[in-house]
Amino acid sequence: AQSVTQLGSHVSVSEGALVLLRCNYSSSVPPYLFWYVQYPNQGLQLLLKYTSAATLVKGINGFEAEFKKSETSFHLTKPSAHMSDAAEYFCAVSDWGGGGSQGNLIFGKGTKLSVKP
Partner 1 sequence: DVKVTQSSRYLVKRTGEKVFLECVQDMDHENMFWYRQDPGLGLRLIYFSYDVKMKEKGDIPEGYSVSREKKERFSLILESASTNQTSMYLCASSSPGQGPYGYTFGSGTRLTVV
Question: What is the rounded CA–CA span in Å between residue 77 and residue 79?
Answer: 7
DSSP 8-state code for residue 62: G
43 binds partner 1 (CB under 8 A): yes
Strand ranges in 9-69 using DSSP code E only, listed in sequence order: 10-14, 19-26, 33-38, 44-50, 56-58, 64-68
Residues 82-101 that bind partner 1 (CB under 8 A): 90, 94, 96, 98
Span from 18-26, 55-63, 75-83, 105-113 in contact with partner 1 (CB under 8 A): 105-113
Cα–Cα separations (whole angstroms), residue 64 to 34, 48, 59? 11, 7, 5
Instruction: State yes or no: residue 9 binds partner 1 (CB under 8 A).
Output: yes
Among 3, 26, 61, 104, which residue sits at the site for partner 1 (rule: CB under 8 A)? 104
Write out the residues near partner 1 by the rule CB under 8 A: 9, 32, 34, 36, 41-46, 49, 51, 90, 94, 96, 98, 102-105, 107-110
